[in-house]
Amino acid sequence: MNETILKKHWWKRYWKWLFLISAILCFITFFFLMTGTATFRYGSVLMQPDLIQNAHEKAKVNEKVIEKLGELSPHDFFRLLEGEVMYSNHNKTVAITVGIIGTKGRGKLDIIANRNKENWEYQKIIVRIKKPTKERIKILEN
């Protein structure tokens, strides 16, 4: 009844798990390093929902947009990821492209706005449609 139980060293038992966890952590770190500035830009736009919402409302009531795309669905975070965000002038001017979806088709909403204290003043709001033909609908242009 005197048996000796030999345990393997912890490294031999768990090396596969350690390797897997290390690989996942490296991948996550690499991903955030490569997209860090984009994450900041999208996050700052999400903190100011009225910037996109007001432009979306203006596009929603435009007759030409209704004719081409139909009734626009409300915008959400994933439509923002389809586009681009660029800040300039010490983060007081922003150029955003947001995907929009209507009952008849899809398009892109291009917004250029300047921040005036707490409010956004829109310089340009344009809806771009690719299919069936390329078309640009000017909602607002200064």
- 21-36 pLDDT tens trace: 999 999 988 877 766 5
Is residue 44 scored above 80 in pLDDT? no
In the structure, what pLDDT confidence band is assigned to residue 89 with cuts at 50, 70 and 90?
Answer: confident
How far apart CA 37 and CA 64 sit, in angstroms, is 36
Output the pTM of the full model. 0.67
Identity of the residue numbered 62: N
- 45-76 pLDDT tens trace: 666 778 888 899 999 999 999 999 999 988 77
Angle between helices 10-46 and 49-60 (to 10 degrees): 60
Joined tokens for residue 135: 């078309």
Is residue 95 scored above 80 in pLDDT? yes
Is residue 20 scored above 90 in pLDDT? yes
- The rounded percent of the chain whose pLDDT value lies above 70 is 83
End-to-end CA distance of the chain: 93
Measured between alpha carbons, how far is residue 14 from residues 17, 20, 21, 23, 27 in Å? 5, 10, 11, 14, 20
Of 13 and 128, the one with more pLDDT: 128
pLDDT the model gives residue 124 = 94
Alpha carbon 109 to chain centroid distance? 13
Is the CA virtual torsion 117, 45, 94, 111 positive or negative? negative
What letter would DSSP give residue 71? Answer: S
How far apart CA 7 and CA 105 sit, in angstroms, is 64
pLDDT the model gives residue 123 = 94
